[in-house]
Amino acid sequence: MTKDLFRKEAIRHRTRALFGDVILAAPLSTWVITILLMVIVVGLIGFSLFASIMIDGESVPIWLWALGKTA
């Protein structure tokens, strides 16, 4: 009875499957993000400990400069 209500083309269109494969994009796992953030933090700490700038011809460590303890 319901097939008489609709055209054959409409029924065929409604029942056909989409072409192609379904791919679910998975987000990065939390441990990968955590490791990347730890690498960035360790890099920033290492930079602040070992880097220095020149102020008035004198080399001053960045961590002293950041604390405002330049003489």
Q: Residue 52: what are its φ and ψ, rounded to 5°?
A: -145, 160
Phi, psi of 37 (to 5 degrees): -65, -40
pLDDT given for residue 28 in this prediction:
75
Q: What is the pLDDT of residues 17-55, one digit of tens each?
A: 666 677 777 777 888 888 999 999 999 999 988 898 888
Domain membership of residue 33 as a residue range: 2-67
Domain count, the chain: 1
Query: What is the per-residue pLDDT for 3?
Result: 52
- Distance, CA of 24 to CA of 19 (rounded, Å): 16
**pLDDT score of 71 more than 80:** no
At residue 9, the pLDDT reads 78
